[in-house]
Amino acid sequence: MSAHNEEAPILIEDGLIGNGLMEGGSPDGRSPNGGSIVLEAGPDAAGQRLDQWLAGKLGPDMSRSRVQLLIRQGAVKVGGQPVNETKRKMAAGDRVSVDMPEPEPAEPQGENIALDVLYEDNELIVINKPPGLVVHPGAGNWTGTLVNALIHHCGDSLSGIGGVRRPGIVHRLDKETSGVMVVAKTDRAHKSLSEAFADHGLTGDLKRAYLALVWGIPMRPTGTVDEPLGRAVDRVRRAVVPEGRDDARHAVTHFTVIERFGEQQKQCATASLVECRLETGRTHQIRVHMAHIGHPVVGDPDYGQAFRTKANRLPEPLKGRVKAFPRQALHARLLEFRHPTTHLTMRFEAPVPRDMEELVDGFRKL
């Protein structure tokens, strides 16, 4: 610490401790360029959740989700002791220190990350996204994303989305979901593709098909799940919710059973390879809908936990392979859309990645 920072702490209004307990602090007690800040809880804080109270003190530049991430990362201490429970109740007089990270660039930076490009022209680019690649920078993933890779790959061919040279993300795949994605390179393409995805192909040419390896065998070879989705109790995951709830969003998934596995082996767990076609595009839609009807995606860490023990009913080496599979077995197989300038229908398919293909092959041998 500098000599200045070793001076006695100065208590200022709202329970914020001044530069005496900060590295790299500013005169108002905030720490925009990294370092630590210390806050003292007043009487009104008693009974509040730690994440709520901190977000109120650090806002508006610090969102509650960002505060929750800092808590989970061990960057928050109460009374000098690290805490990682966001719901911890506050008490009057609690002293809370926060190790603030260095600020991230306002705009994503290009990074030399290999891409599997299926098609590219002046208006758009189509890629086969591998599992493990986050689409857009965000809390906990400010670098190493698809957007960073596209900025580097496309360079000056990005004419600008909203006046900024950046790729236009019109739809997303979860980090651990692989498959076909289209990204706009111009404002014109971004507007056209965004409208197509917002319409979900109901009046246009947009088609999306996914392959999912799911537990069990659906009773019917085809079906539709028409259930609204909203936030789950933990506020992180999604769940089927009552239609009238404030956060309920219309969601429809059509599925077709492509293959059935293990149905002749009565002592063995069964599974199915299912094609899912989206009529809407909600967060985690396929994963939540398939789990809702009792057929969660194999390997899904968020919505398939209750089915993990099913792997114990599989023979080796498939049993070990399923237990070791690190993600949900979900792949965006097909994407079809109308080109924003040529108006030609474009169709792209991506092969199932090797790890998922090997998993499916293992089930085929049951």
| Percent of the chain with pLDDT strictly greater than 70 | 86
What's the CA gap between 271 and 260, in Å, rounded?
A: 6
What would the two tokens of residue 188 be?
């014109």
Question: Does position 10 have pLDDT exceeding 60, yes or no?
Answer: no
Q: How many CB atoms lie within 10 A of CB 119?
A: 13
Q: What is the DSSP letter of 107?
A: S
For the chain, give percent helix, strand, coil, nearest 5: 25, 30, 50
Contacts of 197 (CB under 8 A, 6+ apart): 170, 171, 206, 281
| Residue 4 pLDDT | 34
Helix (H/G/I), strand (E/B), else coil: 32: coil
Contacts of 195 (CB under 8 A, 6+ apart): none
pLDDT in tens, 200-227: 767 778 999 999 999 999 999 999 999 9
| Residue 364 pLDDT | 96
pLDDT in tens, 110-135: 999 999 999 999 999 999 999 999 99
Model-level pTM? 0.71
Cα 358–chain centre separation: 25
The yes-or-no answer on residue 226 being catalytic is: no
Question: Does position 176 have pLDDT exceeding 90, yes or no?
Answer: yes
Res. 69 pLDDT band, cuts 50 70 90: confident
Active-site position among 51, 174, 300, 302: 174
